[in-house]
Amino acid sequence: MAQLKKILAGAMALCMAGSVLTACGGTSDSSSDAGTADAGTTDAGNTDGGSTEVKDVEPAKTDDLVNTGKVYNIYCWNTEFKERFEKYYEGVKDTALWDGVEVKWTEIPNKDNNYQTKLDDALKNQNTAADDDKIDLFLVEADYAMKYVNSDAPLDVIGEVGLTKDDLANQYKYTQDAMTDSNGTLKGVSWQATPGLFLYNADYAKQVLGTDDPTEVQAAVADWDKFAETAQKMKDAGIFMVSGYDDTYRCFSNNVSAPWVTDGKITVDPQIKAWVDQTKEYSEKGYNNGTSLWDDAWKAGQKVDGKVFGYFFSTWGIPFTLLPNTVDKALDDGGAADESNGGYGHWRACAGPQSYFWGGTWLCGAYGSDNIAITRDIMLKLTCDTDIMASITENEQDYTNNKAAIKKLTDAGYSNPFLGGQDHLSLLSEAAEKIDLTNKMSAYDQGCNEEFQGAMKDYFQGTVDYDKALETFKTNITTKYGDLSMD
């Protein structure tokens, strides 16, 4: 009965959480815009996004973990984790645990909160769903992780899934802060860390700065004043410093002094306003190409002759975005992994003017799962095993959440051929240690980030003034989240 009550509390919390959700007990046409659940229906969640130390608790005993289901259900929004699972877990999984169990993937696109909405609908039915329809593992990302941390939907990684503090010792602290509630309960773990760098076109660096050496280029972009000076040099040479309006956004949004939402009130942090001011200046001076994140013109700038000097990317941006966009022929379609293939080998990395992170994916065990022992095996091997983590980084250019694995590679003389043989892991290690999530996350971050960037586009294009753009943001965000207010 205690477990049933706990699951029901988690379901109610998610029905009240900060997203456009289907109402508890309602039809698919009814919706609830209520905010993060109150303390009466959830753990006393870390609603302000503060950093909380993971508490000492006796790990669940392996022999006590539930493992009776015949279908292991995983909810996600793309194929990234599935690829890691199939390539790096399938061959090392505990076959006794998986005897007679099949894995089922439910992939739902993330856009417009669609993934969250469908996930929440499924989670609230955990008590009534057939055993083999219950969610066992679900994924969340940084922009809405806090919503789930502040509910009972995810299992306690230590007390219920059974990992120990020693198992988790090599992970970066910020990746645990992101999934730790104010009671010190760790609700999810990640195989990756996502510190960001400035990726730049080495050919343009040589042409304009006279060098492509990362140390010397870093000196030219070491702070925002130097970055602007270099932007003017690039413009004089017919090259855009960055592609569009959104390129520097995460450098500012990840360095805010307070989360988007506190006690139901939306606040535009000074760092967010600084991004607006900078982007308006860059738009007027021709330092950017007026593109928007992910559009065709934005992608085109990543070609070796795309007339864009650099892009801000976190770890995933190199293999999943920059590499496929810059090559002439995809590597998995026979394209050469050398400098003859478009921009392969023509990019370098430096720290840039401001440390930041972007994104990240966490694994959460679901309350009501009948395969918790399998969840423990997955988390242990795909987020804690040093050798597996090192293999993922070396083979996939995915910066893994394991300090020992990264040190193992750098000590062995790691080099990245896509980056001309550069060891960018050392830069990422330095950046990862600087990430501090204290008071920077809320349950509403995905919606606030998307709506704010969208509303500011008209301002950057000169069709409205800032106050009008801000009013558009206020209207859109309070419509999306009906429980929020904004002055």
> Can you give the pLDDT at residue 27?
27
Domains 46-193+359-408 and 196-356 share a fold: yes
Kind of pairing, strands 288-291 and 31-32?
Answer: unpaired
- Please check whether the domain covering 46-193+359-408 is classified as CATH 3.40.190.10: yes
Angle 121-181-5 (CA atoms, 0-180°, nearest 5)?
A: 50
End-to-end CA distance of the chain: 45
For the entire predicted model, the pTM comes to 0.84
> What is the full per-residue pLDDT of the chain (487 aa) written as tens digits?
334 434 444 443 444 443 323 223 222 232 222 222 222 222 323 444 444 677 777 888 877 788 888 999 999 999 999 999 999 999 999 999 999 999 999 999 988 889 999 999 999 999 999 989 999 999 999 889 999 998 999 999 999 999 999 999 999 999 999 999 988 999 999 999 999 999 999 999 999 999 999 999 999 999 999 999 999 999 999 999 999 999 999 999 999 999 999 999 999 999 999 999 999 999 999 999 999 999 999 999 999 999 999 999 999 999 999 999 999 999 999 999 999 999 999 999 999 999 999 989 999 999 999 999 999 999 999 999 999 999 999 999 899 999 999 999 999 999 999 999 999 999 999 999 989 887 778 889 989 999 999 999 999 999 999 999 999 999 999 999 999 999 8
Location of structure tokens 């005993």: 61
What confidence score (pLDDT) does residue 287 get? 98
For the stretch 21-25, contacts whose Cβ atoms lie closer than 8 Å and that sit 24 or more positions apart, written own/partner, are 21/116, 21/117, 21/120, 21/121, 22/117, 22/120, 22/121, 24/124
Domain 196-356 class in CATH: alpha beta
Taking Cα atoms as reference points, which of 5, 383, 360, 436 lies closest to residue 157? 383
The confidence score (pLDDT) of residue 52 equals: 64
Q: In terms of residues, how long is the chain?
A: 487
CA atoms of 190 and 179, how far apart (whole Å):
10
Question: Domain locations in the chain?
Answer: 46-193+359-408, 196-356
| Cα dihedral 381/384/386/389 (nearest 10) | 70
Q: What is the pLDDT of residue 143?
A: 85
Query: At which residue do the structure tokens 């050919």 appear?
Result: 203
Helix axes 403-411, 425-434, angle to 10 degrees: 150
CB 170 within 8 A of CB 402: yes
| Cα gap 480→448, rounded to integer Å | 9
